[in-house]
Amino acid sequence: MTEQFVYLALAMVFGLIGAGAANKLRLPAVTGYLVAGLILGLIKVIPMETLHGFALLTDLALGFIAFSIGNELKISILRKLGRIPIMITVGEAMGAVAVLFVLLMIFGYPLPTALMLSAIGASTAPAATLMIIRQYRADGPVTRMLLPVVAMDNTIALMTFSIAAAISQVLVAGASGSYAWMILNPIIEIGGSLLAGFALGFILSFLFRFFEKDNDRLALVIATVLLGVGLSAWIQLSALLVCMAAGATMSNLSKHSLRVFKLTDAFTPPLFLIFLVLSGAELNLTMLSTLGVMGLIYIIGRAVGKVGGSFIGSRLANAEPVIQKHMGFTLIPQAGVAIGLSLAAVRILPEYGDQIRVVILSSTLIYEMVGPVITRLALKRAGELPDLEKIGKDCKPSR
């Protein structure tokens, strides 16, 4: 047991070194964390059974990722933006799902694999995009539309994944009455998860009235996420949906939500660092040679679906031409949520989960290296990077 603390310390140090190297190359920190994990896995410093023993930490990280997504779903902000971000989100998220599913089926991959991978393809990582926005002080219609779109598209990804997972489990199990269960099981799981999350968020908001110190409120948030993850495993709900709904409920009900999320933002970076390093360390690189075509389909198909779906959605919503033309290219990066869903896929469907996870982790490395470059070019062409040369001289890259 004691050696686990040494391994965790080693993972954190490797992650920090990887993030530092990524920063020098002007890449997101998440890329450095994953590469550091890959190196740890290659040199086999941490035994595989020990890596699997850190499940509690990874579950907690996934819970906080989902909880943070919920913070972006404020009704007041969504009302001000109107239907445009909703139309864009539906277009780009479902565009990625549709393109990936069709391509994977055409190339003859198993239906459960196609369902799970296409669902994960809907998610987007805001980290790389935010790095460019903060570094170059970007501002404009495209920039202001990004955060709500990313928040809602990850919500769609969580729901779509829950449906895909339920259907895939039935397909693999081949249970009697499977067609009825294919319809009912996702509805029960999603509905139950949202209700449980709403209840936890309401209770959390209520308890804030009696606990005014920052440390106490942070402890309540941690307890809420732990409870959400634990209850989900106990009564077979989606931990990601439960924690997301709890975060969204608290964000809309509590006047202290902004302060609370600042506290969690200060608490979670080391947790996410460990989560990403361990995810990279668990990657089975020997499978990459057999997954070349699948990985290529995922990388290209998802990008095509995102860009094309964003264009269609923004055009139907009569968004500004600059949004129609450039928005989709800012949605290509993918990281934390996708990695979390791939980990969930391993647990839900071990028969297909390892392949899915290798594809997601490998594509994440590529997306996180190429994504920032594409995002910067898109924002530059949209005219939202003012005084680019001057700013580039006096600002430091953000992680």
- Number of separate domains in the chain: 1
Residue 140, domain extent = 2-386
Strands (E), the chain: none
- Domain assignment present for 399: no
Residue 264, domain CATH: 1.20.1530.20
Q: pTM to 2 decimals?
A: 0.73
- Domain assignment present for 394: no
Q: How would you write 43-63 as a 3-class SS string? A: HCCCCHHHHHCCHHHHHHHHH
- Domain assignment present for 333: yes
- Domain assignment present for 282: yes
User: Residue-wise pLDDT tens for the chain (399 aa)?
Assistant: 667 888 888 889 998 998 898 878 877 677 788 888 888 888 888 877 777 778 788 788 888 878 887 777 788 877 877 788 889 999 999 999 999 999 999 998 989 899 999 999 988 875 556 556 666 677 888 887 877 787 778 778 878 888 888 788 878 776 544 566 666 767 787 788 889 999 999 999 999 888 888 888 889 999 999 999 998 888 878 787 898 889 989 989 888 888 888 888 788 888 888 888 887 787 666 655 656 788 889 999 999 999 999 999 999 988 888 888 888 888 888 876 787 788 888 888 888 888 888 888 888 778 766 776 787 788 888 887 775 445 444 444 443
Neighbour-count burial of 316, counting CB atoms closer than 10 A to its CB (0-12 exposed, 13-18 middle, 19+ buried): middle
